Homo-oligomer: A and B are copies of this chain.
């Protein structure tokens, strides 16, 4: 296994990472990247087992509802990088099963690679979303043929790919890029039917990051995002060579969607679990700030909070139902119930802005206007801010100011916006979740129920 320090050093591998126009020389010590690198390193140290050949728990398969529930609880403080790595491993093994009959050699390559990755104890991200160009056209119809990642050259020992993958959270912090087609391909789109593993430091890979870390001199007004932030990567494959043993699919359009579908089975639970926890935290903040304002017994405040509780409970009901009603794959992996997962994600994503609105409404204007910690420390005004931000003996101005900062940072500004957009877009926007829900809902059964209710005989 790798230790945290080894992880830090592993990032000095020649990777080309850019932020705000600059090439980053030293990820581990860069003022912005240090925070997420340290967070990842900490998880490398936790659960480190020096035994040679040991495989990290998080790289193993979940087999029971209880495994899923443990995973969803966030008890292990899994960060995104760890979760994504875990889901990638599962995805690859499932995809191997699914392509085995037609492409046994490719399946073998996958399994070999997974074993090696477990041994190296690396971090992987999933590169799915292409640049896409004109979204009204298919990959093969684009003005720029590189709008979707494609094979531009085939050599004896491998392929050369070109294109870009977008919105890849934490790609610059990982070791390898699981690059798979974003959707089903059609006949003639063979070059776009490419799935492969690409080391982050491969020649031609260039990563442009955007990061929501606060840039203020004093970051204490941002108690959450200053401590936890993750870059989003724009990953460019500028004629990148991929050796054959890392090419898992090349040129079978009818199997292009296999990888994304395999991924779908696992990736959603994490999103839904995160949403359930977020909704509970929003209820918690609402209750805390109502109490800090002396408003917790006012009927319209209670009405808003009970509405938030109902939303939080609906999301959690979907999570619990998705776990308790989980399915099992042929090889014994527990996969959450897709209908409940997607309906829950849809509901959570659609209602998250309303939850935030209600929290802000309960909080009042100080979410925006509470002075900074530096102001609290200023000798001329600090004690006065404290005096006027306080509510009563039991709610001092210091605590209340910090509570406002936390609410601002959790739900607004750069950090809150990141969370809002991630909630909405992860898994593909509201429409995607609607489509999946519609696809999984048993509408034939509903029709039979309706006909029975109507006392109309079922058509033959």
Contacts and interface: CB of A to CB of B under 8 A. Distances in A.
B449 A281 contact: yes
Contact of A280 (B217, B365, B446, B456): B446
Interface in A293-315: 293-295, 297-300, 302-303, 305-307, 309-310, 312-314
Contacts of A117: none
A430 B364 CA distance: 10
A424 B385 contact: no
A453 interface: yes
Interface string A341-363: 00110110010111011001100
B280 A449 contact: yes
A340 B313 contact: yes
A42 interface: no
Interface residues of A, number: 152
Closest 8 CB pairs of A and B: A21-B374, A284-B450, A406-B454, A299-B299, A412-B417, A284-B446, A353-B353, A134-B294
Interface stretch (A2-10, A96-104, A252-260, A437-445): A437-445
Given A21-B374, A223-B454, A368-B418, 15 more contacts: A134-B395, A144-B387, A147-B388, A167-B368, A232-B365, A232-B368, A281-B446, A283-B441, A300-B431, A303-B303, A305-B438, A317-B322, A320-B324, A365-B425, A413-B414
A392 B134 contact: yes
A72 to B, nearest CB: 13
A328 interface: no
Given A133-B294, A218-B20, A369 B234 contact: yes
A114 to B, nearest CB: 28
A375 B208 contact: yes
Contacts of A450: 281-285, 287-288, 406
A307 B434 contact: yes
A48 to B, nearest CB: 25
B224 A453 contact: yes
A294 to B, nearest CB: 4
A403 B454 contact: yes
Interface stretch (A49-57, A152-160, A195-203, A376-384): A376-384
Interface in A247-287: 277, 280-285, 287
A144 to B, nearest CB: 7
A381 B218 contact: no
A300 to B, nearest CB: 5
A447 interface: yes
Interface stretch (A79-87, A135-143, A177-185): A135-143
A46 interface: no
B283 A346 contact: no
A166 interface: yes
A410 interface: yes
Contacts of A322: 317
A140 to B, nearest CB: 14
B446 A283 contact: yes
A443 B284 contact: yes
Interface string A15-36: 0101011110000000000000
Main DSSP-derived SS at the A contact region: helix
A275 to B, nearest CB: 13
17 contacts: A21-B377, A131-B389, A142-B392, A163-B388, A210-B368, A210-B370, A223-B454, A223-B455, A238-B384, A281-B450, A309-B438, A353-B353, A353-B354, A365-B421, A406-B456, A407-B454, A413-B417
B283 A443 contact: yes
A369 B232 contact: yes
Nearest to A358: B430
A368 B421 contact: yes
A129 interface: yes
A381 B425 contact: no
Interface string A406-430: 1110101110111011101100011
Given A206-B381, A284-B443, A298-B136, A412 B421 contact: yes
A343 B277 contact: no
Nearest to A425: B365
A62 interface: no
